[in-house]
């Protein structure tokens, strides 16, 4: 898949990723800017990131923090089932992207989307 999710011609790559993110497998692994584009696109449909996994294609030491790895195993009140608020979920997602960037970690992301309450 092209890194550019706005490439013209054929079905929208974002709509395809959105459909994938509603399956049990989630969307394919995405770079942070692609994952952010998908999360923002989902907001247009009142959907939010209900689960997220992250992986490092290459591992760098020392690991300082791992809170940027996942959405869905957060503190009480922060998980999708606790609030089902797409904007709140997006803020948590963006915070995790910032934490990874702060630590110099280059990750790929897998997202699952859900409809807001």
Residue range 52-65: average pLDDT? 69
Domain ranges of the chain: 13-115
Task: Using alpha carbons, list the distances in angstroms from residue 24 to 15, 57, 78, 86, 111.
Answer: 17, 22, 21, 19, 10
Condensed to tens digits (0 to 9), the pLDDT of residues 88-112 reads 999 989 988 998 888 888 889 999 9
Confidence of residue 69 (pLDDT cuts 50, 70, 90): low
Q: What is the pLDDT of residue 60?
A: 58
CATH architecture of 13-115: 2-Layer Sandwich (3.30)
Tell me the whole-structure pTM to 2 decimals.
0.80
**Which of 36-40, 67-71, 103-107 reaches the highest mean pLDDT?**
36-40
CB 68 within 8 A of CB 100: yes
What is the per-residue burial (b if ≥16 Cβ within 10 Å, else e) of 39-65?
A: bebbbeeebbbbbbbbeeeeeeeeeee
CB 38 within 8 A of CB 21: yes
Confidence of residue 6 (pLDDT cuts 50, 70, 90): low
């Amino acid at each position: 898949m092209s890194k550019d999710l706005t490439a013209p011609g054929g079905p929208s790559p974002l709509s395809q990723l959105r459909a994938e993110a509603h399956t049990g497998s989630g969307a394919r692994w995405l770079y942070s800017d692609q994952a952010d584009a998908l999360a923002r696109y989902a907001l247009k449909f009142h959907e939010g990131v209900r689960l997220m996994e992250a992986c490092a294609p290459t591992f760098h030491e020392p690991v300082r923090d791992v809170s940027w790895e996942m959405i869905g195993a957060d503190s009480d009140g922060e998980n999708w089932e606790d609030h089902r608020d797409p904007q709140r979920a997006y803020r948590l997602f963006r915070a995790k992207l910032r934490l990874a960037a702060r630590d110099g970690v280059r990750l790929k992301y897998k997202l699952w989307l859900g409809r807001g309450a």
